[in-house]
Amino acid sequence: MQREHNDRKELLLYAVIWAILLVAPILSTYLHTLNNASETTFPWDRLFEVWVQYLFFFVAFAIHNFLLAPLIVYRRRRALYITGFAALLAVFTIVQCVNRPDVRPQAPHPPIEQFEGPDFRPEPHDKPLHGIEPDKPLHGTEPDRPQHDRRPPVFIGQHDIVAVIIFLLMLGLNLGVKYYFRHRRDTERLAELKRENLQQQLEYLKYQINPHFLMNTLNNIHALVDIDPEQAKETIVELSKIMRFVLYEGSKQKVPLRQELIFLDNYIQLMRMRVTDHVDINVEMPQATPDREIPPLMIITFVENAFKHGVSYQQHSFIDIKISIEDNRLHFSCQNSKVPQGEDRHGGVGLQNVRRRLQLIYGNDYRLSIRNEADTYNVNLELPL
């Protein structure tokens, strides 16, 4: 579809150029007629002669554009193109030489009365020719009548050389235009392939993130069933809300920021049910949410890592989450305590995938800082909205 669009643009460009070339002689001839008072009628004959010359160029251009140029531009068959180009150049040169006007100056015919009047006297010669009387003209010839130039015309003249140069420039311009549209089409095709590849990679990452997230959540519910079965039932209800968002919104490229924050808050409330009083959970979210969008399931990876790897049941631990919006940019920070060395497994598939998603979606227009210190684990993320 994109190729057909570019082909139509190329043909439209050629049509405009040739239309200008056909109209230009009409305007030039019309202005010449206005400035020349001796011409009372429009010289259509001269205009037709110019159009006939244009016809030779147009036929050569059509042959080159539709038959020869695609050989080298799209099929890369240089030998066949060079052969066809040489044949076209030879035919065009021969046609130009055969059909060019004879512009050599001709000697004018003097009036016959100049040689046959009563006052005509041939100029005497210094010496009479042998056997010929000086006052008697040669038999069968007219004295001193200028003869026409009977020499054959030169095969290639100045007019032909100019025509061949214009022919070469025209075909060179044709190749330049075709290469331009080919480069433009290749660039658009490459961009389309990159978009398709990007979409496939994002879909692949989503399919990895969603099972990873659900697996961690189910593990948390399984632990909660042993601690408080009634609370586990409420947790399942909260989980259904979370899964509804994952199934119906997680497949989209972007979701409203408000929905993402509600989903994040539901997850945090779900995790609060399974932790003890020894875990301090502090969450700060903006009260007013702007009408912006964000890729789904982007922040949740850092939050679930904090609950999975930063909560200890043997010692005091904490999780601090803060989300703010400044200058149309989302600022997310998550800090949590570190569990003993044997239990610390920050990172994994989820964190690797979120890094890749950020790079694919935002390029260099984001900032992600992760500091793995001795007692704490800090994540700072900044995204454009």
286: domain range?
A: 197-384
Closest Cα partner for 372 from 321, 309, 301, 299?
A: 309
| The token pair that represents 148 in the structure block | 């026409």
How many helices and strands in the chain, by DSSP H and E?
10, 7
On whether residue 176 sits in a domain, the answer given is no
- Selected residue with higher pLDDT from 129 and 373: 373
SS (H, E, C) 55-89: HHHHHHHHHHHHHHHHHHHCCCCHHHHHHHHHHHH
On whether residue 59 sits in a domain, the answer given is yes
Identify the weakest region by mean pLDDT among 192-196, 223-227, 319-323: 192-196
| pLDDT-derived band at 150, boundaries 50, 70, 90 | very low
On whether residue 168 sits in a domain, the answer given is no
Asked if residue 355 and residue 219 are part of one domain, the reply reads: yes
Asked if residue 218 and residue 86 are part of one domain, the reply reads: no
What number is the average pLDDT over the span 28-35? Answer: 76
Among the three residues 125, 156, 187, which one is the final residue of a domain in this structure?
Answer: 156
d(CA 323, CA 330): 7
What number is the average pLDDT over the span 257-271? Answer: 87
Residues of the chain with pLDDT > 90: what percent?
17
Asked if residue 67 and residue 215 are part of one domain, the reply reads: no
| The token pair that represents 16 in the structure block | 């405009």
What number is the average pLDDT over the span 164-183? Answer: 90
Predicted local confidence at residue 325, as pLDDT: 92
Residue found under tokens 């920050």: 346
Mean pLDDT of the chain: 77
CATH value at residue 278: 3.30.565.10
Burial 249-275 (b: 16+ CB within 10 A, else e): bbeeeebbbbebbebbeebbbbbebbb
Predicted local confidence at residue 349, as pLDDT: 59
| pLDDT-derived band at 350, boundaries 50, 70, 90 | low
What number is the average pLDDT over the span 240-245? Answer: 80
pLDDT in tens, 177-210: 999 988 888 888 777 767 766 665 666 555 555 5
On whether residue 38 sits in a domain, the answer given is yes
Asked if residue 208 and residue 138 are part of one domain, the reply reads: no
Asked if residue 21 and residue 123 are part of one domain, the reply reads: yes
Identify the weakest region by mean pLDDT among 120-124, 145-149, 349-353: 145-149
Among the three residues 97, 124, 156, which one is the final residue of a domain in this structure?
Answer: 156
Asked if residue 229 and residue 151 are part of one domain, the reply reads: no
Asked if residue 274 and residue 206 are part of one domain, the reply reads: yes
Asked if residue 300 and residue 218 are part of one domain, the reply reads: yes
Predicted local confidence at residue 381, as pLDDT: 95
Asked if residue 366 and residue 220 are part of one domain, the reply reads: yes
Backbone angles phi, psi at 279, to 5 degrees: -110, 120
Backbone angles phi, psi at 226, to 5 degrees: -75, -30
What number is the average pLDDT over the span 313-332? Answer: 89
Asked if residue 231 and residue 119 are part of one domain, the reply reads: no
What number is the average pLDDT over the span 31-39? Answer: 71
Among the three residues 156, 186, 219, which one is the final residue of a domain in this structure?
Answer: 156
- This prediction's pTM: 0.49
On whether residue 188 sits in a domain, the answer given is no
Closest Cα partner for 354 from 332, 327, 385, 374?
A: 332
Apex 197 CA angle, 196 and 200, nearest 5: 85
Asked if residue 206 and residue 94 are part of one domain, the reply reads: no
pLDDT in tens, 267-320: 888 778 777 778 899 999 998 888 899 888 888 888 888 887 888 777 788 999
Asked if residue 272 and residue 128 are part of one domain, the reply reads: no
pLDDT in tens, 80-93: 999 999 999 999 88
On whether residue 169 sits in a domain, the answer given is no
What number is the average pLDDT over the span 202-220? Answer: 63
Total number of domains constituting the chain: 2
